[in-house]
């Protein structure tokens, strides 16, 4: 496999963030979700003392907030399928996104309903799907519990790791560097749970102009993306109309990331026709696949009449 890496380091754009108030509200989780997804805690902070000081200072008691992590079981048409560890917020979005990324459903219309049942040891998602999806469900059936950081736990064979996906057509419209930088500028302020706890990942849906339109957070990076995709499915959002920005690294399931990608992520992005941008920082980002999809001055002049 040949890997082409292109680094972009550009002057920061002066474009202002002009998302509507409604778009900003969609970035936030509800107050009820906040209560569910975080918990107060008493902590003791130890400060490192200079070497010449003979004795360490005593830990100081303080108050902090911790991200909650709980078990969530998924049940399809009354059949147990998988168990995850995740943040207890936006669980209906998780049900839709997980069902789609697992290949169980073909569209949001395949889900007839979702019931969220809270119990002493976690939550149960009872998902009713169309009978036409029973074959896909059987093919992807998991017997083991999932983990917070792993998207493969419980798969029964190596053949299930990578499903065959069609290569995407070249995009008619794509973001430019200024749009990517603008989305990066506003990502952190759109993560209230991370600001409160410092322990969650985020997946953001952004317009091609760089406006953040929706954000989902979770202690698990896979869960955050599934929640975002579920939100998009439930609201019939065309994935060709924007881009996804994630705060975690890009492993083989992901195609866009603030942090580093893995070799498998680059391979899949290259095969599927997806522009992969990673190591996105304040003043630069790196393109690992299909750099010609970036909307540059050259591409604009080439397509103008």
Q: Which residues are catalytic?
A: 150
The kind and range of the H/E element at 122 are: strand 122-129
Asked if 253 and 222 count as a contact pair (C-beta separation under 8 A), the reply is yes
Strands 60-67 and 242-246: unpaired
Distance separating alpha carbons of residues 245 and 278, to the nearest angstrom? 10
Q: Are strands 122-129 and 70-76 parallel, antiparallel or unpaired?
A: parallel
How far apart CA 102 and CA 151 sit, in angstroms, is 10
Q: Could you give phi then psi for residue 251, rounded to 5 degrees?
A: -95, -165
Give yes or no for a contact between 275 and 294, defined as CB atoms under 8 angstroms apart.
yes
* Residue 2 C-alpha from the chain's centroid: 27
User: How many Cβ atoms from other residues are within 10 Å of residue 218's Cβ?
Assistant: 29
**CA distances in angstroms from 248 to 4, 92, 168, listed in the order given:** 22, 22, 24
């Amino acid at each position: 496999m040949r890997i082409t890496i292109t680094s972009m380091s550009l002057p920061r754009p002066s474009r202002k963030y002009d998302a509507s108030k409604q778009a900003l509200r969609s970035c936030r989780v509800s107050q009820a979700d906040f209560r569910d997804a975080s918990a107060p805690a008493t902590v003791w902070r130890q400060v490192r003392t200079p070497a010449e000081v003979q004795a360490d200072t005593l830990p100081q008691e303080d108050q902090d907030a911790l991200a909650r992590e709980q078990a969530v079981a998924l049940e399809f048409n009354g059949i147990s399928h998988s168990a995850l560890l995740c943040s207890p917020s936006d669980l209906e979005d998780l049900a839709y996104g997980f069902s789609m990324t697992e290949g169980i459903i073909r569209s949001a219309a395949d889900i007839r309903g979702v019931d969220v049942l809270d119990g002493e040891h976690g939550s149960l998602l009872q998902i009713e799907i169309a009978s036409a999806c029973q074959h896909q469900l059987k093919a992807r059936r998991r017997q083991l519990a999932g983990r917070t950081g792993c998207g493969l736990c419980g798969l029964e064979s190596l053949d299930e790791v990578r499903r065959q996906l069609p290569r995407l057509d070249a995009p008619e419209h794509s973001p430019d560097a200024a749009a990517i930088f603008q989305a990066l500028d506003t990502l952190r302020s759109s993560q209230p749970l991370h600001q409160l706890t410092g322990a969650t990942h985020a997946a953001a849906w952004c317009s091609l102009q760089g406006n953040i339109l929706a954000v989902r957070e979770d202690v698990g990076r896979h869960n955050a993306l599934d929640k975002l995709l579920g939100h998009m499915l439930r609201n019939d959002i065309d994935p060709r109309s924007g881009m996804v920005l994630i705060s975690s690294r890009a492993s083989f399931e992901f195609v866009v990331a603030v942090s580093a990608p893995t070799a498998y992520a680059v391979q899949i992005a290259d095969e599927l026709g997806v522009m992969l941008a990673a190591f996105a920082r304040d003043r630069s980002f790196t393109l690992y696949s299909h750099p010609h999809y970036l909307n540059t001055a050259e591409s604009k002049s080439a397509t103008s009449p």
